Amino acid sequence: MKIVLVHGWGFDRHFWEKTARSLGSGVIVPDLGFFGPPDLTIPTGEPLTLVGHSLGLLRLLSMPDDLLPEGSLFLGINGFTCFARAPDFPSGIAPRVLDRMMTALQRDPDTAVRQFHASCGLIDPRPSAEEQGLPTGTPVRERLRDGLTMLRNGDARSSRRRISAVLAGRDDPVVTPAMTEACFPPDLVCWSETGGHLLPLTHPDLCARFIRTVMEQHNDAA
């Protein structure tokens, strides 16, 4: 099974470099185009292991079934099926937070992205951004805005049956444990006590082991 790694909002394909190295061969990393031309090619013709970080999982779950190979595994890392607070989803982020991000993005995309990175626990990582798996291109306001709109309005809770497992952080400041527990049954969640919202950057070996373990369990059960 090939592994497809989809990054979240405010990042690009470089986000997965450490985890991809730990996984070895057979890894495909699309780019949602937040900092340059998008590359959304996903192979067809055979089942895949589809791994989404944060918004990346919501993006995968929102894709129609006929666009993804039948029999594929869906895994989440710091992921969710719904992000914005709603009457039937009180654990979500207040919509006004996303509205403020949208306003900041319109005014100054680069600053808006840096502020988001800081909220994830990254404090001015440049000039070694690329080495750390962070984007180095110019923010593309329109696609970043579309990503925020999905965070604001997206709801894939009806598709959580497609998910095989989720790796979550107890200290995640963005996707809180309460949000994780509201999105997924407890038997699907593997917890990391540390690592925050950016487990593929802070704990790439753990992420790789998580992915490989779920794949092995799937193969043993087949």
pTM for this one? 0.94
- The DSSP string of 150-189 is HHHH-B-GGGGGGEEEEEEETT-SSS-HHHHHHHS-GGGE
Model confidence at 105, pLDDT cuts 50, 70, 90, reads: very high
- Cα separation, 54 vs 78, in Å, equals 5
Gap between the terminal Cα atoms of the chain: 13
Give kind and range of the element (H or E) at residue 190: strand 189-192
φ, ψ of residue 51 to 5 degrees: the values are -120, 120
Which amino acid, one-letter code, is at 166?
A: V
Q: What is the pLDDT of residues 132-150, one digit of tens each?
A: 677 878 999 999 999 999 9
Q: What is the pLDDT of residues 116-133, one digit of tens each?
A: 999 998 865 444 555 567
State residue 124's pLDDT score: 53
Whether 221 shows a pLDDT value over 90: the answer reads no
Q: What is the pLDDT of residues 185-215, one digit of tens each?
A: 999 999 999 999 999 999 999 999 999 999 9
Model confidence at 220, pLDDT cuts 50, 70, 90, reads: confident
Average pLDDT over every residue of 153-176? 96
State residue 129's pLDDT score: 55
Residues 152/141, Cβ–Cβ less than 8 Å:
no
Residue 192's domain comprises 2-221
Q: What is the pLDDT of residues 167-185, one digit of tens each?
A: 999 999 999 999 999 999 9
State residue 5's pLDDT score: 98
Whether 111 shows a pLDDT value over 60: the answer reads yes
How many C-beta neighbours within 10 Å does residue 36 have? 16
- Residue 82, sorted as left (phi over 0), alpha (psi -120 to 50) or beta, turns out to be beta
State residue 54's pLDDT score: 98
Average pLDDT over every residue of 97-116? 95
State residue 127's pLDDT score: 45
Average pLDDT over every residue of 74-78? 98
**Average pLDDT of the chain?**
93
Which amino acid, one-letter code, is at 175?
A: V
CB-facing half-sphere around the CA of 18: CA atoms within 13 A: 16
State residue 68's pLDDT score: 87
Measured CA angle at 151 (ends 85, 65), to 5 deg: 110
CB-facing half-sphere around the CA of 189: CA atoms within 13 A: 21
Q: What is the pLDDT of residues 5-49, one digit of tens each?
A: 999 999 999 999 999 999 998 899 999 999 999 998 888 889 999
Total count of domains within the chain? 1
Query: Residue 95 burial by CB count (10 A; 0-12/13-18/19+): exposed, middle or buried?
Result: middle
Map tokens 């490989």 to a residue. 212
- Residues near 63 by beta carbon (within 8 Å), at least 6 away in sequence: none
- Assign residue 51 the CATH number of its domain: 3.40.50.1820
